[in-house]
Amino acid sequence: MKIKHLEVWPVTMPLAEPYCIAYEKVASTTNVFLRITLDNGLNGCGCAAPDAAVTGETPDSVIKVSEEVIEPVLRGENPLRLARLAENLKMILPNNPSAMAMVDMALNDILGKAARLPVYMLLGGYRTRIMTSITIGVMPVADTVAKAMEYAGKGFRSLKLKGGVDVETDIERVLEVRKAVGKRIDLRFDANQGFSETDALYFAVKVWPARLALIEQPTDRNDFKLLARISGQIPTPVMADESLMNLRDAFRLARGDLVDMVNIKLMKVGGITEALHINSVARAAKLEVMVGCMDEAALAIAAGLHFALARPNVAYADLDGHLDLIEDPSAGAVRLKNGYLYPGSKPGLGFDFP
């Protein structure tokens, strides 16, 4: 069994409803898809969701390294030697996490298909489904409440509000949403680095009655000391997202007890294989873990889901990046029912391109 050919292609997908976060407005996304073909006819599928502001990549850069670096390294290799191949690529591509994630998920897909098992079963098979939050972007208070009620009416039991633009409005949005949806809905807040220390502390005090489950990345990703000060002063759990880009970041956050929780995104860290290492560090430090996503096609969401289903301490999921995408070529790679995500029933990641 050897790798015969790699094919990569970009797909731009509009969002049914554009959204805003603290530093940008998003109306569409471009993912890069990968198909690895073996000499025995078996295929493995992967997907990259590059983001210049987060991963430092673009679709063009992912395609370039795929054609010029990844294919020459992988061609003729045994795809089941996943750890070896991942290490070889990581040394060559230290700053291409979404491209690495794309390859890693395709190799895991091949492994599952060769074993005739879903990837999450190969990795541990702790659970068969997980509840996901759904995100509400930065919008006026009344619109936020209306959207929250809409999602709650569709069966979602966990809502994540984006903010970080204006602290007073953020406070009002959180309190009004809690009033509207009641106590049984899990409510999360993500500032996307938009707060100062003063804003973060003030916000946490004012929204305490809303009983947020977590406050995600309130301040600048590079200021670990500031993140630690905020985490140490407020009762609501603080989660690192943009501050966690690799295994070294995970060790730094865990060793210093800087946060309460971490958000592991495959596109940031380089795929399932690396996510498992980071998760082990988090578990050793007794940090709660959430699996998150970018604006990702259903195939990439499936990879994050299989990772989450495999490990007991991945207690939270924010895997909604595919729900608003139009013309996703991998639609159906995961199933959503009453706010829970389920994997496909086929081996591997549960998806094949026509």
Q: Which residues are catalytic?
A: 162, 190, 216, 241, 265
Q: What is the 3-state secondary structure (H, E, C) of the chain?
A: CCEEEEEEEEEEEEEEEEEECCCCEEEEEEEEEEEEEECCCCEEEEEECCCCCCCCCCHHHHHHHHHHHHHHHHCCCCCCCHHHHHHHHHHHCCCCHHHHHHHHHHHHHHHHHHHCCEHHHHHCCCCCCEEECEEECCCCHHHHHHHHHHHHHCCCCEEEEECCCCHHHHHHHHHHHHHHHCCCCEEEEECCCCCCHHHHHHHHHHCHHHCCCEEECCCCCCCHHHHHHHHHHCCCCEEECCCCCCHHHHHHHHHCCCCCEEEEEHHHHCCHHHHHHHHHHHHHCCCEEEEECCCCCHHHHHHHHHHHHHCCCEEEECCCCCCCECCCCCCCCEEEECCEEEECCCCECCCCCC
- For 118-150, b/e burial (b = at least 16 CB within 10 A) is bbbbbbeeeeebbbbbbbbbbbeeeebbebbee
**Cβ neighbours, 10 Å, residue 288:** 17
Residue in 286, 163, 147, 273 with CA at minimum distance from that of residue 217: 163
Angle at 282 between CA 191 and CA 266, to 5 degrees: 65
Sole residue written with tokens 């794309």 = 102
